[in-house]
Amino acid sequence: MKNFSNKIVSIIIPTRNRSNILNECLKGIMNQNFPYKMEIIIVDDFSQDDTQKVVFYWKKKFEDKKIKLNYVRNSSSKGANFSRNIGIKIANGEIIVFVDDDILPPPNWLHNLIKNLENDRKLCTTGPVILKTWKNSIGKHGEGASLVTHVTRPVKEFNKIVPIASNMASYKEIFENNLFDPMLHPPVEEIDWLLRSNIEVKFVPEAFVFHNKKINDLKFNKLVRLAWKRGSETGWWYRVKIKMSFKEKIKMSFTMLSTIFRSLGHAIIKECIGGVLISLSEFAKLLALFGLLKFKNRKIKSWK
């Protein structure tokens, strides 16, 4: 990786009200086996906890290692994608890496994630997100979560590998020309970004991170609302953005129904609510796909 000696790598972390988890994430980044220049950019989405205190604690530690840590705080809560876009605009690095505040990176994660970018400026790399414990945890990306391996992997849409926003990297100009849509959330945010950017994505299995979030950190009713919201948003996006024919919708609905029954079966056999939430999300997606759920005042970025 000789070509990286003159490049700065910017690691952008959106965060909100999760100072304890952010603290562990920054500890993992501090311990990276990465001898080249990097900067940390934390975009605080109007946190009401002691996030700022945690950030300034780590700012001194990173500066002792000659690593710059930039902290930006939104004036109100705008969402993770808005925060990612802020990070892109202020990044000094030629390469940008995105992680969420709830990931735990092993020591060689950064090196493994960006090594394939050395000679290809039109490539995006992404790695798996491994759940720390499955019985009490659920992957952030319902469609990408494997019920067998308990690993969140990139899914394939339109014959393309879709990157995971909590573990991805590419060159700054790629992100500058294709900002994230602030109106969207996982898993459709990555699909939408990929189709607009139209670049190749390489899945790097060894560039894995751990997902530091337990399902019992959230109340059940909040998880249900989240599953419904993300499923309905995904179905709405397919209907509005892709403009599928009725025949294509029917074909896709069979896939959704298969996922619903398979996930419910897993939930019953394994006695976990993850399968129930995935089924609920797929059902909401199915309804929205056929226009049975309404969305008011929603706009999405146009494709180039």
Q: Tell me the pLDDT tens digit for each residue of 172-187.
A: 999 999 999 998 988 8
* pLDDT recorded at residue 158: 64
User: Is there a domain that residue 169 lies in?
Assistant: yes
Domain count, the chain: 2
User: Is there a domain that residue 296 lies in?
Assistant: no
Residue 88 to residue 91: CA distance in whole angstroms: 5
User: Is there a domain that residue 183 lies in?
Assistant: yes
User: Is there a domain that residue 232 lies in?
Assistant: yes
**Of 211, 240, 270, which residue sits at a domain end?**
211
Which of the pair, 140 or 286, is modelled with greater confidence?
Answer: 286
* Residues 12 and 132 grouped into a single domain: yes
* Residues 198 and 226 grouped into a single domain: no
**Of 211, 233, 266, which residue sits at a domain end?**
211
* Residues 73 and 197 grouped into a single domain: yes
CB atoms within 10 A of CB 303: 11
**Domain region containing 121:** 2-211
pLDDT digits (tens, 9 = 90+) for 62-119: 999 999 999 999 999 999 999 999 999 999 999 999 999 999 999 999 999 999 998 8
pLDDT digits (tens, 9 = 90+) for 133-167: 543 444 333 333 433 334 455 556 666 788 999 99
User: Is there a domain that residue 294 lies in?
Assistant: no
* Residues 245 and 101 grouped into a single domain: no
CATH number of the domain to which 60 belongs: 3.90.550.10
Residue 135 to residue 126: CA distance in whole angstroms: 25
* Residues 132 and 189 grouped into a single domain: yes
* Residues 229 and 186 grouped into a single domain: no
**Of 196, 211, 226, which residue sits at a domain end?**
211
Predicted TM-score (pTM) of this structure: 0.85
* Residues 203 and 283 grouped into a single domain: no
* pLDDT recorded at residue 145: 40
Residue 108 to residue 39: CA distance in whole angstroms: 17
Assess whether pLDDT exceeds 50 at residue 30. yes
